[in-house]
Amino acid sequence: MVQKRRVLIGVGGGIAAYKICEVVSTLFQIGVEVKVILTNSAQKFVTPLTFATLSRHCAYTDENFWQPTHSRPLHIDLGEWADLIVIAPLTANTLAKLAYGMADNLLTNTVLASTCSVLLAPAMNTDMWEQQAVQRNWQQILTESRFHGICTGSGLLACDRVGAGRMAEPQEIVAYVQSLLHTGGMRDLVGKRVLISAGGTREHLDPVRFIGNPSTGKMGLALAQAALHRGASVTLVHSPASWDVPLGVQAISVVSAEQMQASMVQHLPNAEMIIMSAAVADVKPREYSKEKLAKKSLPQALPLEPVPDIVVELARLKQPHQQLIGFAAQTGDIVTPALEKLHSKNLDAIIANPIDEPDSGFGSDNNRAIFLDKQGQKIEIPFCSKLEMAHHIFDVLAKK
């Protein structure tokens, strides 16, 4: 997905600069060529040597900018070199310069000398972030199509304040970088509302025992990230998960199939695209005990009953302008049962993926699949990361 792509990272002056070390290291490990520019204030927090070591490239500062050691101006070379620029942490000072087209250092000159997409990850004290001038500059810069912003999170800040202004975590920045390298900054889902289900539901026998499956919800998470990065408004209904919901996604946590169905039905009318990637249980215990059952009290044969078929109910309720996409996790022949599900459940499309192949399916960071739709289209998605697969799916759906 990101082989031989080139990312230029501008590091601003803030304590969150230490997190960018992980971003640079991760991008290098997945095959991205990375170069780094540090502002003068950034060097108070992390040294150029650290980033040079992690990126395997010289880390540039304003001192390099003003030295006549290059055949061409350094900011021109760097601006033309980059497929994507990331500025993190983005300070209020650098944000103001970008908003007004100012260029008084290597980083801001390089941004003006480039035409690629720019990803901005702000970080600052809550009172600073909430200042009217800062919010005005933030909204202004995001009106320009080449600039993409990651929302700040809330939490304990370095100033001991608890509130907004916390920079996105490294893994979230890396995911956004991967998305922008795939799309080239395209926002083809702007104005679209996407409803996604994720994870494996749990049908409890008692407070500590349940019928479930190995789904971790990583595919649904990837779909939510991809849709968000392409400009959609995203609602994610998910079962218990070990991952963090992306900033900017409306998240609804559920446990059982019944709870998931209620939430999906509630939010269905507001969505143009509905993707059922959750692995919903087929049956549940007929009786539920509010108290933990003693081992000796467990039934020798467990009476079961079916759970609601969420996809069938969504298909019954959906309107002509809505797309309903399902998933079919299969062993062996994955196409035949997926096609049967596509037609019997009145889906617009289905993603058939194997769960019996190495490093694919439940719990894996990667997957492979076949996209099938009711028009007879069949598109094979080769082995790739789940985030890349999500983008391949939206590449097709966005054209429908």
Claim to verify: residue 203 and residue 154 sit in the same structural domain: no
**Structure tokens, 345:** 């459940």
Confidence of residue 399 (pLDDT cuts 50, 70, 90): confident
Claim to verify: residue 159 and residue 227 sit in the same structural domain: no
Q: What percent of the chain has pLDDT over 90?
A: 88
Cα separation, 201 vs 213, whole angstroms: 8
Number of domains in the chain: 2
Q: Are 32 and 82 in contact (CB under 8 A)?
A: no
Claim to verify: residue 177 and residue 201 sit in the same structural domain: no
In a domain, 1, yes or no: no
Q: Are 62 and 39 in contact (CB under 8 A)?
A: yes
Residue range(s) defining the domain that contains residue 306 = 193-397
Claim to verify: residue 197 and residue 176 sit in the same structural domain: no
Claim to verify: residue 39 and residue 91 sit in the same structural domain: yes
Radius of gyration of the chain (CA): 24
Least confident of 52-56, 177-181, 296-300, 345-349: 296-300
With both helix axes pointing from N to C terminus, report the angle between 218-229 and 386-397 in degrees, rounded to the nearest 10.
Answer: 50
In a domain, 323, yes or no: yes
pTM for the model stands at: 0.93
**Structure tokens, 72:** 């061409």
Claim to verify: residue 165 and residue 200 sit in the same structural domain: no
| Res. 4: pLDDT tops 80 | no
Over range 3-11, report the average pLDDT: 88
Q: Are 80 and 72 in contact (CB under 8 A)?
A: no
Which of 135, 154, 183 is at the close of a domain?
183
Residue 328, pLDDT score: 94
| Res. 2: pLDDT tops 60 | no
**Host H or E run for residue 178:** helix 170-183
In a domain, 264, yes or no: yes
In a domain, 188, yes or no: no
**Host H or E run for residue 331:** none
Which of 183, 204, 239 is at the close of a domain?
183
Claim to verify: residue 179 and residue 243 sit in the same structural domain: no
Claim to verify: residue 378 and residue 338 sit in the same structural domain: yes
> Hey, which residues are catalytic here?
159
Claim to verify: residue 390 and residue 371 sit in the same structural domain: yes
